[in-house]
Structure 1
Amino acid sequence: MAIGATGLDTATYEVLRERLAAHAAELGRRAEELNTRRIAEFGSTRLELTGTERLHTEHTCRPRDIVALGDALLFGYGTLPAAVSGRSVDEVFALYDRDLKRLGEDAVPGLLDDSGFVREFAALHRYYRETRLLRLRRVEGRLLAVFRTGEKADDIRVLRWSVSDDGRISFLDARGERDHVLPAAHDFEWTEATREDHIPGRHPHISIRGEVFVATDGGTLTVKAANDTGTGEGIHTEPVDEPLQSLADADVAHARVGDLLLLRISPYKESTPRHLVVNTLTKTVVRLDGIGQACRRLPEGQGIVFPGGYCLASGAYKTFDADAAGLEFEQSVRSPNGEDLLFTFHARTEGHSLLLTYNLIRKEVTAPLSCRSWALFDDGTLMVLQRGSGDEPGRVHPLQLWRTPYVSDTYAARPVGTGPSPSSPLRTDRGDPLARVGNADLVRGISDCLSLTHAVAETTPTTEVYKALIAGCVRTADAHHWLGDDALGGLRTPLDAMRNTAEQVLGEFETVQALTRQAADALAEADVRIASVVRRLRGEAPRDAGAWVTGLTELRQAQGHLLTLKDQPYADTARIDERAADIETDLAAFGQRALAFLAREDAFTPHHQETERLVSDAGKITAVAEAAPVTARIDELTDGLRTVTEVVVGLDIGDATVRTSVLGRIAEVLGGANRARATLDARRRELADHEGRAEFTA
């Protein structure tokens, strides 16, 4: 009865899982079809290299930075040491058009031709002979030119201009230091662990929101998924530099980003903190120290991005083979439809940048762009000043041109031809369902639906995963009213079906977990039994053939019991096969030792004596009931000898005569056992006939 119920529970869960996967696949199919229609209607641009150009300068110089101002490119560079009379503007700045042709200083009114700028520029170089341009920055309606005036990193002066929405530029002053401030390295707050979070016990640990637990004693940094101080094992371990430390010696902080739990841990006597990311749904841990430099959240709780890598809520993560040393977060740029994001990082000391672009629908970060500097025009054209060009002074500087989706809002809303652009709010064809919803809302809805389908297909099933899936279905349905519109693919139908099925799967999942634990416990028990037998056989040398036969029989029986565990639902068959192979190796080794003993002439003398006793005892029984114990002794003897035969036959023996000799002696013993069995059968029939007549007479 229990076996039938277990089979029914298992089948129910598997059927529901398949049904959930089918609903998720249907939702994904409809979302992809809608996305194809969206792209056809509104267009979509991917990051694409369109060409390589060369920027020519009049002076031999080292490039510093570039910035786009309307259709002009401002190029900042450093030339040879200035003359005693100072440095001229054209020795530091130059203007170019989109074709990289040199423009005059008055091409952008109010920029380089402003008298106030020229005066401040001259004074700066007159009073600070070591002045050199560090970089150019666009910051909230300001253009900043940052100059280094001394040996210290904070010896800077910042010239600044105002840049209006319509592109007009006017010089302000040389007091822009307060504007030259980078955003916070992290867009979330770290929460420090306190003594109240410490949980004492045999293996004490620190509770992180009651979800994971951290310990740094015993020579290892351990992350646990369960609040169990009785064990030091966890889901992640790594050694620490100082093994002799207590829990209170470590500094631990955490931050929650969606389903990810970020940990910042500084073990005792370690100056550089370690950064771990715990996926609270899948209970997996990965170490990503790049988070310490800078880290930004991805939209919709999809994960995090940091210099040189990313980690998604689905569990996927990647680090790029790029130079991320010293990189700080600078800014993020979002495409008008919200589908793509550009994250930029800059290294102050080295003076180079790293660009990472993330697609909300595809859930991927493209290969990073490492460069000296970059400039983004309103139409989304990205000019990248290649990093190698800054190593040596020169007059020719290579640039890469990229097509990107990061157009400005004003450019996206501009009229094209005789009517508004497809993404413009001025568009008049509101009868079209796609236009009625809008590109940005479609992107968010499609992204949410595809995130749910990926959660079903790519995530390891846990209770937390199913609960998060149900909550995600509810949240997506509430956030996007248009999902039920048949003209937009009717995504609400498979979404509701997926939510309902996920609720049923969650109910059955507890049964599956119980079956999984039962199978794991049975395997652990078998492991203990096998280890005990192997340890005993390795540690002692049997003194007679009977002991050798008993040892081989026990080991073979343990192997047989282990293989039967594969029939249990949710058994770890790979682990069982691995342990069975280990037992086979132990059997071969023990068999070789047994063969060396059994090859002796007198090895089976005790067995022959036992068969004689069995023959004698079989002939002496006085009742049919007395035959059972003798039968059991005969079966035990023959079963053990058959096991020895199987092992000996399977051994790789160089001298075949040894195998033949041992098998011959075993056959002699089996012959004696058969004689005892025949004697017993004859005596049992005789007694049965006698007892039958006596019963009939009575």
Structure 2
Amino acid sequence: MDTKSGARGLDEDAYAVLRDRLAAQAAELAARAEALNAARTGEFGTGELELTGTGQARTGDPCVLTDVAAVGGRLLFGRTRPAAQDTEPRVADVLALYDRDLVPLPEDAVPGLLDDPAFVREFTALHRYFRGARLIALRRTEARLLAVFRTGESADDVRVLRWATGPSGTYRFLDALGEGDLVTPPGQDVDWVPAGRDDHVPGRHPHLSLGGRLYVSTLGGTLTVKTVNDTETAEGVYAEPVDEPLQSLADAEVAHAAVGPLVLVRVLPYREETVRHLVFSTLTGTVVRLDGLGQACLRLPDDRGVVFPGGYCLADGTVRTFGTDTAGLAHDGRVTSPHGEDVLFTFRSPGAPDGGRSLILPYNRVREEIARPVTGRAHTLLDDGTLVVLRGSGTEAGRVHPVQFWRTPFAADTHQEPAGTGPLARIGNADLVRGVSDCLAIARQGTETTPTGEVYEALIAACDRAADTHHWLGDPGTGDLAAPLAAVRTTAERVLTEFETVAALRSRAADALAEAGRRLTRLTRQVRGESPATAEEWISRLTGLRRAQGHLLAVKELRYADTAAVDALARRAEEDITAAAQRAVAFLGREDSLDTHRAEAERLAADAAAAPTVAATRDLADRLDAHALGLRT
């Protein structure tokens, strides 16, 4: 048996065995975590959104419902009147109360809200002095209810009426000076670090260093992303064209941010208007363009990724986008379920020409996914977690307005059901959610990601964090997740060691192949670019090509060599040798082409006759072998 082939087989088999073992242990960890999660949801309930019903809010006259807010267990709808009505509006023309069954209620159904004389005076004065005023939004803060009216053409031309909210669902009108309470949540939940002059890396192909983690260039008509600080080559792991090929490093506006293992890149090339957003995963080494991050970029819990209008990107590089219209949407807020399992990300475009739109993305930490987005004109949450979504689009007024009701886990603390007394109740739903989420993430990382050294290092670190954070993982009442977690960590450490060995051998084989290719290219260019004047020169060129071809056989025997690439290079060498040989034959057809060889043969004969001893002929023998080799070539 060939020794090299046997060693290579042992290495490959050992690595494959460890990988299979890691996958089996990760599957066991996932199975136990899923079983624990099923028991948890059986005791505490599931966090999935479920459509429980659809109703219709009816109005006495045609109008467009623009927004909805939960007030004391009731629903407050905002309305717009048809443009043809020139009379001064009443409160009922703009704001209307309904119960949960969408039955209209009188204005005094919620005391202190619409029936407050001070509110009626401010409402009347607002529409008297600003005849084009229209309601564009209803907003809830921790202690305020806000009614936002647009009073002019500019987005800043607003007047905000506000109420104070009490702990028992009571309301008290304050004034029309609520602009300070109208705080828009930040759309960028990351710290963008702009690239400056100090980040310029000069060279043949200069680029910008983004914290030493990525390298970006917009030169030569291409936006290029590199993972290695190599200015000798223009190639990288990602490239796309830019509009202006003639620009310097300083012309483009570049910034980056880090979210866990993700590196976000923001680029505005020279003389372009669209800001490009790229996401690089250090675990997989892949880059994806997600311009939606410009509208909003929000961190997922535990830095497991980012979410943006219309999609999300996980820490392992998984990207999912939804086919929803996100134009004009901005971050509106987020709500976390009481036990932390679910997070509701909301986006709105209030006051838009179509009356406003709403996008709701419910993220589940255990499954690490947003199952489906919920869209509508507006939405609100009742205290028991019921999500009310005002459907419809466009500005056409009507008397019937569709409304959806969704069951969600986003209930207020006062509506949480008491837990039981079993082992899961003693741990608590919040801790169970985090533990199950961490274990499932580890299991996915052990089986689904592209094998790299960074992946295995991150996997080992995640196992250590989970074991240190969740002390209850080894409890029999939870299915003993500690055992498969420890097994995954041990095997991942061994896989990392074997992977590093294999990676080093692959790198060595790749370097040898590259050097062989450069050597062959150099010899080929020499043969093609020159016309040797003697047979010796032709023989020297052909001998060099033959030796380069023979060296490829040695490269092919290296462990983890790319045999297909070696074979392709060998075929190229054979073609180059054939072409050079044809030219050599044409030269050797001349009568004087072998004169130098005849002269060398005569010198060898004369030197042999003059040799005084056998020892003196050793150098002569070497000369004779070299001469014979040249003739055979």
Establish whether TM, by shorter chain, passes 0.5: yes
Counterpart contact for 1:162–1:170, Cα < 8 Å: yes
Q: Deviations 1:231-269 (Å, cap 9, x if unpaired)?
A: 221111112221111112222211111111111122222
**How many Å separate the matches in 1 of 2:10 and 2:170?**
74
1:386 maps to which of 391, 399, 415: 391
Per-residue CA shift, 1:566-619, capped at 9, x if unaligned?
876545577679x59998xx99xx99x9xxxxxxxxxxx99xxxxxxxxxxxxx
Instruction: Map 1:71-86 onto structure 2 (within 5 A).
Output: 71-81=73-83, 86=88
Does the CA-based 8 Å contact 2:162-2:178 persist in structure 1? yes
1:463 paired with 2:453, answer yes
Report the equivalent of 1:620.
none
Paired residue for 2:118, among 111, 116, 119?
116
Shift of residue 26, structure 1, vs aligned partner: 1.6
Match in the other structure for 1:454:
444
Q: Which residue of 1 aligns with 2:408?
A: 404
Question: What CA deviation, in whole Å up to 9, does each residue of 1:444-471 have, x standing for no partner?
Answer: 0000011111111122222222221111
Q: Is 2:215 the partner of 1:210?
A: no
Q: Which residue of 1 aligns with 2:309?
A: 307
Say whether 1:372 aligns with 2:377: yes
Matched-pair contact (CA < 8 Å) for 2:298–2:308:
yes
In 2, Cα distance between equivalents of 1:184 and 1:256: 17
Deviations for 1:380-412, whole angstroms, at most 9, x for unmatched residues?
A: 222211232x4311111112222222222211x
Equivalent pair of 1:85/1:126 in contact (CA under 8 Å)? no
CA deviation map 1:156-197 (0-9, x unaligned): 101111222321122111111111121111122211222222
**Which residue number corresponds to residue 70 of structure 1?**
72
Structure 1 counterpart of 2:494, one-letter code: Q
Structure number with higher relative contact order (C-alpha < 8 Å, ≥ 6 residues apart): 2
CA–CA distance in 1 between the matches of 2:384 and 2:547?
75
Name the CA distance, whole Å, in 2 between partners of 1:556 and 1:401. 79
Describe the shift of the 1:5–1:444 C-alpha distance in structure 2 as closer, same or farther (beyond 3 A).
same
Q: Find the counterpart in structure 2 of residue 440 from structure 1.
A: 430
| CA distance in structure 2 between the aligned counterparts of 1:364 and 1:459, rounded to whole angstroms | 16
CA spacing shift, 1:203–1:555, aligned 2, 3 Å = closer
| 1:104-183 superposed matches below 5 A | 104-183=106-185
On the 8 A contact 2:47/2:364 being kept in 1, the answer is no
Task: Compute the displacement of 1:306 (Å).
Answer: 0.5
Structure 1 counterpart SS, 2:156: coil
C-alpha change, 1:201 and 1:531, in structure 2 (3 Å) is: closer
- Aligned match of 2:22 in 15, 20, 24? 20
Alignment partner, residue 488 of structure 1: 478
Instruction: State the distance in 1 between where 2:199 and 2:181 align.
Output: 40
Distance 1:570 1:301, change over 3 A: farther
Read off the aligned partner of 1:379 and give its amino acid letter: D
**Cα-to-partner distance string for 1:269-288 (whole Å, 9 max, x where unaligned):** 22332111111222211111
Residues 306-357 of structure 1: CA distance to partner in whole angstroms, max 9, x if unpaired? Answer: 1111110011012222111121111111122211111001124522111111
Alignment of 1:474-553 (within 5 A): 474-524=464-514
Q: How many residues align?
A: 604
Could you tell me whether the CA contact under 8 Å between 1:261 and 1:279 is conserved in 2?
yes
Q: CA deviation at 1:8?
A: 3.8
Which amino acid letter does the alignment assign opposite residue 181 of structure 1? V
Separation in 2 of the partners of 1:534 and 1:117?
Answer: 90
Is contact 2:68-2:78 (8 Å) kept?
yes
* Cα distance between partner residues in 2 of 1:387 and 1:516: 59
Contact kept? 1:45, 1:403, Cα under 8 Å:
no
Show the 5 A alignment for 1:181-330.
181-330=183-332
Contact 2:313 2:319 in 1 (8 A): yes
SS of the counterpart of 2:323? Answer: coil
Task: Give how far 1:533 is off.
Answer: 11
Decide whether aligned partners of structure 1 residues 349 and 202 sit closer, same or farther in structure 2, where only a CA change above 3 A counts: farther
| Distance of 1:62 and 1:480 partners within structure 2 | 51
Task: Give the 3 Å change call, closer, same or farther, for CA 567–64 of structure 1 in structure 2.
Answer: farther
Q: Percent identity?
A: 58
**Which entry has the higher C-alpha Rg, 1 or 2?**
1
Q: How far, CA to CA, are the matches of 1:317 and 1:49 in structure 2?
A: 26
For 2:441 and 2:566, locate their aligned partners in 1 and report how far apart those are by CA, in whole Å: 35
Q: Is the CA contact 2:298–2:307 (under 8 Å) kept in the aligned structure 1?
A: yes
Taking structure 1 as reference, are residues 557 and 395 closer, same or farther at Cα in structure 2, changes over 3 Å only?
farther
Contact 2:260 2:303 in 1 (8 A): yes
The structure-2 alpha-carbon separation of the partners of 1:216 and 1:85, relative to structure 1 and needing over 3 Å to count, comes to closer
Distance 1:581 1:46 in 2: 59
Q: Which 5+ residue runs of structure 2 have no aligned equivalent?
A: 531-543, 580-588, 591-620
Contact 1:384–1:401 (CA<8 Å) still a contact in 2?
yes
* CA RMSD after TM alignment: 4.2
State whether residues 47 and 341 of structure 2, in contact with CA within 8 Å, keep that contact through their aligned partners in structure 1: no
Alignment of 1:353 onto 2:355: no
* 1:178 partner SS: helix
Partner secondary structure for residue 243 of structure 1: coil
In structure 1, the partner of 2:541 is none
- Which segments of 5 or more consecutive residues in structure 1 lack a partner in the other structure? 414-420, 541-553, 594-604, 607-625, 638-698
Cα gap change, 1:202 to 1:528, in 2 (>3 Å): closer
C-alpha change, 1:363 and 1:563, in structure 2 (3 Å) is: farther
Classify 1:316/1:565 alpha carbon distance in 2 versus 1 (closer, same or farther; 3 Å): farther
Aligned residues of 1:215 and 1:221 also touching (Cα < 8 A): yes
User: For the residues of structure 2 that align with 1:127 and 1:301, how far apart are their CA atoms?
Assistant: 49
In the TM superposition, what is the alpha-carbon distance from 1:12 to its structure 2 partner? 3.0
Separation of aligned partners in 2, 1:69 and 1:563: 80
Alignment of 1:635-674 (within 5 A): none
Cα separation, partners in 2 of 1:72 and 1:219, compared to 1, 3 Å: same
* 8 A Cα contact 1:314 1:458, kept in partner: no
1 CA distance for matches of 2:122 and 2:561? 77
Q: Tell me how far 1:102 sits from its aligned partner.
A: 0.9
Which residue of structure 2 lines up, in the alignment, with residue 98 of structure 1? 100
AA in 2 matched with 1:209: G
Return the letter of the residue paired with 2:387: L
Partners in 1 of 2:440 and 2:305 — Cα distance? 15
For the residues of structure 2 that align with 1:582 and 1:162, how far apart are their CA atoms? 83
> Of the candidates 41, 44, 48, which is equivalent to residue 42 of structure 1?
44
CA distance in 2, matches of 1:59, 1:47: 33
For 2:556 and 2:425, how far apart are their aligned partners in 1? Answer: 57
CA contact (8 A) 1:73 1:97 kept: yes
Distance 1:377 1:536 in 2: 81
Is the Cα contact below 8 Å between 1:346 and 1:353 reproduced in 2? yes
Cα distance in 1, alignment partners of residues 399 and 569 from structure 2: 71
For 2:370 and 2:29, locate their aligned partners in 1 and report how far apart those are by CA, in whole Å: 24
